[in-house]
Amino acid sequence: MANMKIKAKVKGDTLKCKVQMKHDMITYNIAKKKGVDANFITYVTGKIGDRIVFEASTSQFLSKNPIIKFEAPAEGVKKGDELTMYWKDLSGKEVTESKKVKGLK
């Protein structure tokens, strides 16, 4: 669990999720100054089973260690289901982590 912090909770009929991704998000400008390669998260998805609940393409202008909050309908989410977050960065690194959805009986 080193690359992400995931929180997923069902409240009423809404699935509320909050994800923090550990990433430096080095923009092209910073990369030039520091003499390193630019590297940032470019693609993020959130899934419950096979169902996509979140999907985004991102640029270098998300903050360092970016936080994303999103909501989706809770319909069909069962106790014991896991939210699986996946991200990919410019260097090609891919990370997938899961966390159980809370708030279900």
Partner 1 sequence: MERRKFLGLGLAAVALVPASVSAFDFRKDKPDTWKAHKVDEAIKALYGDIKPEESGLSINVPKIASNGGAIPVGMKSDVQLKSLALFQDANPEAAVAAFTIPADVKTVNYMTKIKMAKSGEITLVGEGTDGKFYKVSKKLDVALGGCEG
Interface residue with partner 1, options 3, 5, 7, 30 (CB under 8 A): 30
The nearer residue to partner 1, 33 or 105, going by C-beta atoms, is: 33
Min separation Cβ 32 and partner 1, Å: 10
Token pair 């309908």 is found at 73
Q: What CA–CA distances, in Å, run from 89 to 31, 66, 79?
A: 15, 13, 31
Looking at 27, 38, 82, 84, which residue binds partner 1 (CB under 8 A)? 27
In the numeric block, the tokens 């997938």 are attached to 96
Q: Which range of residues in 3-11, 54-62, 77-85, 96-104 is near partner 1 by CB under 8 A?
A: 54-62
First-to-final CA distance of the chain: 25
d(CA 37, CA 84): 28
* Residue from the set 68, 77, 85, 101 that interacts with partner 1 by CB under 8 A: 68
Q: Which among 7, 2, 17, 8 has a CA at the least distance from the CA of 65? A: 2
Q: Where along the sequence are the contacts to partner 1 (CB under 8 A)?
A: 25, 27-30, 33, 42-43, 45, 50-64, 66-73, 75
